[in-house]
Amino acid sequence: MDGNGRWAQQRALPRTSGHSAAEATVIDVIEAARSAGVEWLSLYAFSTENWRRPDEEIDFLMRLVRRVVRKHALLLHARGIRCRLLGAEDPRIPAPLARDFADLMTLTEANRGMTLTVAFDHGGRQDIVAAARSLIRAGVPADAVDQACFAAHLPVPDTPDVDLVIRTSGEQRISNFMLWQVAYAEWIFPPVLWPDFRAPHLLECLHEYRRRDRRFGGVAPQAKG
């Protein structure tokens, strides 16, 4: 979800107004993805590198995310959405926010309508290190480590491989996002800034995705769902 700062800058507003404006996009995209039959949606909300931002901006984001979680928890639940968190649980995350995340996960854990993964305090490399640590702690012999075994030690290990990554605002970078899971992802970089991104933009991306020929390193074109 990129481009909040530039959206605000274009309007001569503080960066934080861009983050506030992002809330409407988040809700629109969740609803649109669910209606389109997307089973797994992940939103990259805050990276392990975002801690480098000014304290006031971090503070604002923490408060905003908490407000959004509290405000929309019942709606997400009513829509049958299972919410999960993919992140490091850094001690700098305010305790009330961590509690609200935990409550949202508990409230929605039995839902199967769509799984919404909120990547918050997330870093792909950090997840890979976590998997390595977990393997070592479990005493898994080196020769027993294969890709499936390694993936089973990643945080939230039942998360499937990513099919499509949409990064708004025209930036063309991975920025440490779910590095293990994006190995064969398709990428779309719409120029639109995240606060301006709406359901029709998402549907356009899904349409473009369906036109892609995913060969996974092979040669024969294969059917896509």
By C-beta, is 47 or 108 nearer to Mg ion? 47
| Residue 4 contacts which entry, Mg ion, ligand IPE, none (Cβ below 5-8 A, type-dependent) | ligand IPE
Residue ranges in 49-108 that form contacts with ligand IPE under rule CB under 6 A: 50, 61
Q: Which of 4, 28, 50, 146 is catalytic?
A: 50
Map tokens 């990129």 to a residue: 2
Rounded-to-integer distance, Cα 116 and Cα 84, Å: 6
Residue 15 burial (10 A CB sphere; 0-12, 13-18, 19+): middle
Q: x/- site string to Mg ion, residues 1 to 40, per CB under 5 A?
A: -x--------------------------------------
- E strands along 11-124, which residues? 40-47, 81-86, 114-122
Minimum Å gap between C-beta 98 and Mg ion is 24
Minimum Å gap between C-beta 4 and ligand IPE is 3
Closest among 28, 61, 33 to 47, alpha carbons compared: 61
Pairing of strands 164-166, 186-188: parallel
Site stretch for ligand IPE (CB under 6 A), options 4-12, 106-114, 121-129, 206-214: 4-12
Q: Which of 32, 46, 118, 159 binds ligand IPE (CB under 6 A)?
A: 46
Minimum Å gap between C-beta 219 and ligand IPE is 38
Q: x/- site string to ligand IPE, residues 158 to 177, per CB under 6 A?
A: -----------x--------
Residues recorded for the chain: 225
Q: DSSP secondary structure string, 119-138?
A: EEEE-HHHHHHHHHHHHHHT
The two tokens of residue 65 are 């995310």
User: Which residues in this chain contact Mg ion in the complex, by CB under 5 A?
Assistant: 2
User: Which residues in this chain contact ligand IPE in the complex, by CB under 6 A?
Assistant: 1-6, 46, 50, 61, 169
